[in-house]
Amino acid sequence: MSIILKQPVTGPAAWTGKAIQNDTTWIEHLQAADIQALDQALAALKAKGLAFPNFRQEDFPIGPALVTRLAALSEELENGRGFSLWRGLPVHRYSEEELKAVYYGIGLHLGMPVCQNPRGDLLGEVAAVGDPKDIRTRVYQTNLYLPYHSDPSDVVGLLCVRKAKQGGVSSLVSVARIYNEILEKHPEYLGLFYRMFYFEHLCEPEPSLSPIFSYHKGKLSCRYLRQYLELGCDIKGVPLSKVEVEALDCFDRIMHSPEIRVDMLMEPGDLQFANNYAVLHSRTEFEDHDDVAVRRRMLRLWLKMPNARELAPEFPGRNGFPLPTDF
């Protein structure tokens, strides 16, 4: 079992939305030189006859300046606030395949893209293409409210290609801030979050065991999506106790506090990156356009990071799904 941290988390990871909402240092802008470097890398890729996803980092040379900026982003994700928003990728200038190559190329200079489903998809389509009434439909494939959660990878990246007609606001919360609030206001529940719970995932054969919080080698990590936790416990026939339900209710109340979260309406060309152990992310319900061609569309990356924290043995980090056998 992990050591139970009994002191508040300090440092940049313990941010609140209220404190940083007017602080723009978490927003980066792609400059003209950065776009030129990406265009040159794309041209080099095409000259080799390569395309997404069949290329490596060295096939997409972005130059030392952008490499340095992405290295700083990697450091910020692991040892800073745990998230960043980059603006200014000219998505309208690229064809479908060019855009995927550029985004994937950026991902390769941050880490290693991993599979997002059993089909082996390395870029996920986040759009309202599923039937909300079908229990097999994942919530991100609908326009419904997407609850706070963490994805099964070190880092998740989202590229906004098109935004919705209305709504679809992205919200982030700091895991460290949630922890500090629980420690200060409801320390009686703290130990429960270090217990092992069954988590279900729609693309996995069986629920897997994990605590919600883990503190290991100076880093606090979290895995959370209440619906999958409750479903996992139901499948395994291990009902939650009354006090466990109370603890989860406490977690949810704090997590949804307006003072804690930071909201952002992503515009076309925005790239959001978040550390899945340090930040939980959500999205509000949205109304989409009637014209299918202009409906909300995001492209998602799951990244295994070279500078990722070491995780406790009982806190199983996941980096995507195994490669398909026919990959």
Domain positions in the chain are: 22-304
User: Which pLDDT score, from 0 to 100, does residue 145 have?
Assistant: 73
- Computed over every residue of the chain, the mean pLDDT equals 91
What are 87-137's pLDDT values in tens digits?
999 999 999 999 999 999 999 999 999 999 888 999 998 764 444 454 444
Over residues 57-68, mean pLDDT: 98
The dihedrals phi and psi of 172, each to the nearest 5 degrees, come to: -125, 145
pLDDT for 14 beyond 80: yes
Over residues 161-186, mean pLDDT: 92
d(CA 128, CA 130): 6
d(CA 228, CA 161): 29
Share of the chain above pLDDT 90, in %: 76
> In which band, very low, low, confident or very high, does the pLDDT at 219 lie, cut at 50, 70 and 90?
very high
Tell me the range of 20-29, 143-152, 180-189 where mean pLDDT is highest: 180-189
User: Which pLDDT score, from 0 to 100, does residue 286 have?
Assistant: 59
Q: What is the DSSP letter of 267?
A: P
CATH architecture of 22-304: 4-Layer Sandwich (3.60)
- CB neighbours of 3 closer than 8 A, spacing ≥ 6? 215, 216
Over residues 248-259, mean pLDDT: 96
pLDDT for 203 beyond 80: no
